[in-house]
A and B are shown apart, each in its own frame.
Chain A
């Protein structure tokens, strides 16, 4: 029931927003076509503006992933995390989630496909991937678009929140599925 309502909402959210904007624009006698094209002109500019920031962050992260350090962290952490019922398969997701969304999703589909639907690791990694966002990517895009290079505490907050999310995922999963 809950899921059906949510599916319906997700399906209609976008069309509803479009209908609302266009109808209200026409009702208020806004020249919607001209206004749309004026606003849309900035699309290219914004996308080009973020390129240097994206290159910096994405290249640094792909180098980091290629260096094999994630596998080394995995080995060091696995002993500790075993005690709180975190399967070793899930550790790469915890490390990579804030760095690269596609990598985290890749590891997750891998776990899901090899271990199957009933495994604890599948559930835990599903919750971890579904509950957070790729912090580094979001920071690069949002700050890059307006040319900000001093992030102040934004990265720290993002990473701490990711860490809290990981801890919460482990606790909730322990409580519900063990």
Chain B
């Protein structure tokens, strides 16, 4: 993420200068910063509502029941998460909300799932495999009906908007399935998290030290987490 952040900003400044749009680039800092706070604040109310609802769902055992029903699927996708973790039920609810296009409900529920996954996470600053899988499911944006797009098409007098639904569903399914497969494949080949499996004493010590050095380099991330 460090490189992406650097790359995005440096490239923008260089190309802004080449295109003679440096003023636009500088102004966009302000609009972007304003927009991000607006987005975060617009989430507060709906976030509180769904977190409240999900708390009831958890207390009355609904989340556990859902988790039990979809266990065969989640066992494969989230193999590191204990079966009784409320995260599994949250993930199922998040997927269902996304599929029905209820983005307002899907985000708070997904964030609750992230918090549950964070409890199982060994290195609190680095994404666990389960988190990457949940993110893969969410960034692929699986949706049964593309409601916003349909609204635009109907608005311009598209005669048969339904003809767009089937191809969209096909494409989104392809993207969704490949996201899950990719996450599974990367999980195997990507370097493990900071959690180090028991190694022979000598080797283990070296890699532990290397890891701790790398962690202390990223002080900011570590601090925000330990504050929580």
134-178 of chain A: CB within 8 A of chain B: 134-135, 138-139, 141-143, 145-158, 160-162, 164-165, 168-169, 172-173, 176
Q: Is there contact, CB below 8 Å, between A127 and B167?
A: yes
Among listed B68-76, B77-85, B169-177, B197-205, interface-contacting one = B169-177
For the complex, give the distance between the alpha carbons of A164 and B39 in Å: 28
For the complex, give the distance between the alpha carbons of A159 and B1 in Å: 13
18 pairs, CB–CB < 8 Å, chain A vs chain B: A21-B57, A21-B62, A30-B60, A35-B59, A51-B37, A59-B36, A62-B32, A63-B13, A72-B19, A129-B146, A131-B172, A133-B140, A133-B141, A143-B127, A147-B228, A149-B220, A158-B140, A160-B182
Contact of A67 among B5, B19, B35, B100 (CB under 8 A): B19
Given contacts A43-B49, A66-B16, contact A10 B145 (CB under 8 A): yes
98-154 of chain B: CB within 8 A of chain A: 100-102, 105, 107-108, 110-111, 114-115, 117-118, 123-127, 131-132, 134-136, 138-141, 143-150, 152-153
Q: Is there contact, CB below 8 Å, between B135 and A132?
A: no
Q: Is there contact, CB below 8 Å, between B102 and A59?
A: no
Q: Which residues of B contact A (CB under 8 A)?
A: 1, 4-5, 8-9, 11-16, 18-19, 21, 24-25, 27-29, 31-33, 35-37, 39-41, 43-49, 51-57, 59-62, 93, 96-97, 100-102, 105, 107-108, 110-111, 114-115, 117-118, 123-127, 131-132, 134-136, 138-141, 143-150, 152-153, 155-159, 162, 164-165, 167-168, 170-172, 174-176, 178-179, 182-183, 186-187, 190, 193, 218, 220-221, 224-225, 228
Contact of B100 among A13, A30, A108, A173 (CB under 8 A): A13
**Dominant SS among interface residues on chain A:** helix
Q: Is there contact, CB below 8 Å, between B40 and A50?
A: yes
Smallest beta-carbon distance A153→chain B, Å = 4
Q: Is there contact, CB below 8 Å, between A138 and B5?
A: no
Q: Which residues of B contact A32 (CB under 8 A)?
A: 56
Q: Which residues of A contact B52 (CB under 8 A)?
A: 35-40, 43
The residue in chain A whose Cβ has the minimal distance to the Cβ of B61 is A28
For the complex, give the distance between the alpha carbons of A41 and B170 in Å: 40
Q: Which residues of B contact A150 (CB under 8 A)?
A: 1, 123, 125-127, 218, 221
For the complex, give the distance between the alpha carbons of A129 and B187 in Å: 28
**Cβ proximity bits A22-48 to B, threshold 8 Å, 1 near / 0 not:** 101101101010011111111110111
Smallest beta-carbon distance B6→chain A, Å = 9
Q: Which residues of B contact A2 (CB under 8 A)?
A: 162, 165
Given contacts A60-B5, A67-B19, A68-B21, contact A51 B36 (CB under 8 A): yes
Smallest beta-carbon distance A87→chain B, Å = 16
For the complex, give the distance between the alpha carbons of A136 and B170 in Å: 23
- Extra contacts, 11 of them, besides A61-B8, A165-B175 (Cβ < 8 A), are A13-B100, A42-B51, A54-B39, A66-B12, A66-B21, A68-B21, A112-B155, A133-B141, A142-B134, A149-B125, A160-B178
